[in-house]
Amino acid sequence: MDGDDAKLLAAYRAGNTEALGELVEKYKRPLFSFILRFSEGREDADEVFQEVWVRAIKHMSRYREKNLLSWLFRIAHNLMIDRGRKSRSLVSFDTPAYTDGVAVGETLAAPQIGPDSETDGLEIGRKIERAAALLPLEQREVFWLRMSADLSFKEIAKIQRCSINTALARMQYAVAKLRKELAGEYRELLEAGQ
């Protein structure tokens, strides 16, 4: 674990609640963004976000990983699987529902971050968000964990309980689809972004 994170956790255990506040502050952006991309809106995402932290602190004795953020993502992933199983309206990560032979995740767009917020008003970011929302769930998850949360493929593989090669393949498919989806605008986007 990051030395600072360990200190903050120890301080929280000793009764300093501000230490936990600091930890939440440190990781809130990547974690909340990820949850929001896979939930039914901000309220729902906020609920999951809180639950992730409560579970993480309650089960801190089981924590064995080097990266706290990666562990938080793992809890979030498992929590969303549980919610997906309980609620038919949400799509599970591990067992995709099928309608007419097509996985729901293949066609269901995630309620992604709203157009007037979050991506610092960048049109480029919004276009990528929209295109990524059309990706199948597992590919979408790898894409966001890699691109937005900056997790390694080793960490992503652990979260998705798959091999590194599978995580890499999912990312390859995601990138290929995004390139295809954004083909017309890609050059323009690149130029604007540079």
Partner 1 sequence: MTTKRTERLLLLEQSGEMTARQKRRLQRALETSPEIRQLRTELNFLNRTMLDAGAEPPEWSTDKIINRLRTEKDRHRLCMPVWKPVLAIAAGLAVAASIWNFTAGKPMPALTSNSGAETEMDLLWDDPFGAELAELENLLLTISVDLVSFTEL
Please report, as a single letter, which amino acid is at residue 187.
Answer: R
Q: Which range binds partner 1 by CB under 8 A, 63-71, 80-88, 101-109, 172-180?
A: 172-180
Name residue 102's beta-bridge partners.
Answer: 99
Region class of 161: left (phi > 0), else alpha (psi between -120 and 50), else beta: left
Footprint of partner 1 on 121-140 (CB under 8 A): 122, 124-125, 128-129
Please report, as a single letter, which amino acid is at residue 53.
Answer: W
Q: Is 116 in the site for partner 1 (CB under 8 A)?
A: no
Helix (H) or strand (E) holding 182: none
Footprint of partner 1 on 21-50 (CB under 8 A): 21, 24-25, 28-30, 32-33, 36, 42, 45-46, 49-50
Q: Is 190 in the site for partner 1 (CB under 8 A)?
A: yes
Q: Is 17 in the site for partner 1 (CB under 8 A)?
A: yes
Footprint of partner 1 on 75-104 (CB under 8 A): none
Q: Is 159 in the site for partner 1 (CB under 8 A)?
A: no
CA–CA separation, 77 vs 29, rounded Å?
16
CA–CA separation, 94 vs 161, rounded Å?
10
Shortest Cβ 31–partner 1 spacing (Å)? 8
